[in-house]
Structure 1
Amino acid sequence: MKRAALLCLLAAGCAAQPSARGGGIVSLNPCADAMLVELVPPGRIAAISKYSRDPATSSIAPEVARRFPINHGTAEEIIALRPDIVIADSFTSASTREAFARAGVKALYLGWANTIDQSKAQVRELAAAVDAVPAGEAMIARIDAAVAAARTDRPPVPALLWIGGNTVNGANTLLDEMMIKAGFSDHAAHYGLRGTGYLPIEHVVADPPRVMLVPDRAGRDADSRAAAMRGWALARSGASVHQARYDRSLVNCGGPAIARAMTRLAEIRREVTP
């Protein structure tokens, strides 16, 4: 048993294990993970979502995510941990919700934030649920300060924000609002794309943006091929497109990521003329 426990501690992907006492906060939601690690002391977090260990879905630095046990979101696993509260999302299945209710597990189900104001409301909701209201207000103050600092009187510059592969961010999203506040116009919305979706390379070549925000690391092979093809096609077309690295962790969630995203967007906007 001792050897097994040691191996589990040494393994970066070690899943959450039930403790004798239980308690603490268990999060099944990677966006809640990102908020929790800044709202409460580490000792209050019993487990975070497995998605926060994946660079494609995480909004937490890898070294931070590795400090916490992870869970895989099964009702049986979570109930065995005997948490004080579970933070899940509005997409949680009815069967999982029923299992939590039958076991007497307190749960908070967070919805999806499509605007900065909705994200701030979500911060307040979570902070209240975990008794961290002052930390929540401090997080909101950081968001407001970053949004204010990113404002510009310069004319908006057309930009595309690539999520990965040939997928871009479109209109009526949190990312869209942040881009606009930082002095960009979302070129995917100009193409008529709402939400996040697939954008054929032909659209980009025929009507290129001034700026392309691209993931900081290629990730999957398909993403690398798509990026290489875009670069080749745009070079052949002679289009002048400024490509700027944009950390993948800034596109997954709101909350504390908004402040970092607004700071990065403002930096990129200052690189581009006019």
Structure 2
Amino acid sequence: MRCAALIIAAVLLTTGPSRAAQPRIASMNVCTDQLLLSLADPGQIVGLSRYARDDWQSWRAADARKFPVLSGGAEDILVLRPEVVVASLFDKRATRELLRANGVQLAEFSVPRTVDEVKAQILRMGEIADQAKRANAEIARIDAAVRHARETLGQRNDRVLPLSRRGWVAGRDSLLGVVLREAGLRNAADELDIADGAFISLEGILALKPDILLLSEAGDRAEDEGRAFLLHPALARFYPPDQRVVIPDRLTVCGGVMLAEALDLLVSEMKRIGR
């Protein structure tokens, strides 16, 4: 008996204390969904926002289909009893206050405006999920993508206009603006003093005369009026395919690890048009 006790004690001293269970986390927002899906283990994710499976705005839509979708209210989150709920500062205030009132630990994220802010949010989510090593690896990937983009495109100095449906233009403080700036390209919207974004007319676009249009989708089919704007004959005449680059919205709707993919795609697209 004494010998067995000594063996057990030796094993405990060798292995040390067991690691605490990793926190179970729920996400209320499509952007916190992306951070959580990129950094947490699947077993840590108890639920995602109602837009997590939306292919248009969710970069990890396919992975999100493996997890429950939350209603956006506090009730189903409280039933799941997560250790932490991650949310955006733009999510419904009443829901966030109700969660706090019920003792839920809430971590709120703002909209990042720079690469440094994106990296800070990745680090923060890594800390929340107890996945610091994974977060640091994703930050290293973003840094590598920034270096590659600057080395490849930094001398081109093209004036690029990020243009979406109905004439919406992404400004300097948008995530598309961040991608262009980090790649060493100029956002033509800066000349109109557009911060987050604004609608401009077809005439305004043609008067601005950007070198390249940056669109969120390719193709020549107009499903509705918003899409028809991008296919207007005047734009087609002055901006044929070799003056258009495409970066899907799901890479720039949110700030996160997908920023590296957005930068790599921008480099590839700029090489394709060969300017």
Instruction: Give the TM-score normalised by the residue count of structure 1.
Output: 0.83
Q: Counterpart of 1:210?
A: 211
Q: Counterpart of 1:227?
A: 230
Q: Counterpart of 1:59?
A: 59
Q: Counterpart of 1:48?
A: 48
SS of 1:53 mapped into structure 2 = coil
Structure 1 residue 220, shift from structure 2 partner = 6.0
Q: Counterpart of 2:147?
A: 148
Structure 1 residue 38, shift from structure 2 partner = 1.8
- Runs of at least 5 residues in structure 1 that lack an aligned partner in the other structure: 1-22
Correspondences of 1:244-259 after superposition (within 5 Å): 244-259=245-260
Correspondences of 1:1-274 after superposition (within 5 Å): 24-60=24-60, 62-152=61-151, 153-216=154-217, 221-229=224-232, 232-236=233-237, 238=238, 242-274=243-275
- Runs of at least 5 residues in structure 2 that lack an aligned partner in the other structure: 1-22
Alignment partners' CA distance in 2, 1:155 and 1:57? 30
Question: Which amino acid letter does the alignment assign opposite residue 29 of structure 1?
Answer: N
SS of 1:271 mapped into structure 2 = helix
Structure 1 residue 113, shift from structure 2 partner = 0.4
Structure 1 residue 72, shift from structure 2 partner = 2.1
SS of 1:254 mapped into structure 2 = coil
Alignment partners' CA distance in 2, 1:34 and 1:50? 13
Structure 1 residue 93, shift from structure 2 partner = 3.8
Structure of larger gyration radius: 2
Deviations 1:96-147 (A, max 9, x none): 2321122111110111101000111111111111211111111111111111
The alignment covers a number of residue pairs equal to 248
Alignment partners' CA distance in 1, 2:274 and 2:246? 17
Deviations 1:66-110 (A, max 9, x none): 122111210112112211210011123442232112211111011
Instruction: Give the TM-score normalised by the residue count of structure 2.
Output: 0.83
RMSD: 2.1
1:26–1:45 contact (8 Å) kept in structure 2: yes
Alignment partners' CA distance in 1, 2:135 and 2:118? 12
Alignment partners' CA distance in 1, 2:40 and 2:108? 18
Q: Which has the higher strand share?
A: 1
Deviates more, 1:264-273 or 1:139-148: 264-273
Alignment partners' CA distance in 2, 1:220 and 1:104? 47
Deviates more, 1:115-124 or 1:178-187: 178-187
Structure 1 residue 217, shift from structure 2 partner = 5.8
Question: Which amino acid letter does the alignment assign opposite residue 227 of structure 1?
Answer: L
Structure 1 residue 171, shift from structure 2 partner = 1.5
Question: Which amino acid letter does the alignment assign opposite residue 140 of structure 2?
Answer: A
**Residue 272 to residue 184, structure 1, CA distance change in 2 (3 Å):** farther
Alignment partners' CA distance in 1, 2:239 and 2:165? 21
